[in-house]
Copies of this chain bind each other. A is one copy, B any other.
Amino acid sequence: MPAYEQIKRYVIRRITEGDWKPGGLIPSETELVKEFGVARMTVSRALRELTSERVLTRVQGSGTFVAPQRYESTVLEIRNIADEIAARGHRHSARVLTLEPSDDPQALEALGLSSGPAFHSCIVHSEEGEPIQYEDRYVNPKVFPEYLQQDFTIETPNHYMVRLAPIQRAEFRIYAQKPDAYVRRHLSMEIGEPCLQLWRRTWVGDDAATSVQLWHPASRFHLAGNV
């Protein structure tokens, strides 16, 4: 593995393990040059790439910092439903339906795992008591080994994961779709009402961290943002 790649992974590891906190200063290029015994150009490339991946921010003259997590819009950034509801001045609540290991082959495939299990959670999020999102999530145990021990009525999976790991990339697809009966019941939807459905897969380094299906009642939800 190239030296610049090793340095990138080292930086990510220090962040995910909590040694370097969001907003905090990390060692300078010169210090990393000494630590790894490489040329400055090599360290520079590693840090520059992590900056373009929004893991770091750099300020000429002062230093390199761990990027603060930003929340802007649901589609573009990795936005948290609880924060969105709070931003509207409303009360968020969550009901955990499922939280267990799973060997679903499609999920393993989406996470790039050759063998199981993956972690699986199903949660209904409500705004002022009214269900607004059905979240069906698979999680890579390699990235979040303690996922199953969390209490997701207190902190959403999204918030938990953003807090622990620097998301570098996300793919998404958006559909308008009829929910199945199970989802429809949990979202208190009328028969025939469509869902706005969002599939999203996020990456930490080269690992697919999580693959999630989010179902929203069309009458009570839309996505918005700007570019």
Contacts and interface: CB of A to CB of B under 8 A. Distances in A.
A128 B83 CA distance: 43
Interface string A195-212: 111000000000000000
Contacts of A197: 176
A7 B41 CA distance: 20
A33 to B, nearest CB: 17
A178 interface: yes
Contact of A218 (B49, B177, B225, B226): B177
A224 interface: yes
A95 B170 CA distance: 36
Q: Which 10 A-B pairs have the closest CB atoms?
A: A194-B194, A176-B176, A176-B218, A176-B196, A171-B226, A174-B223, A176-B194, A173-B224, A175-B222, A170-B227
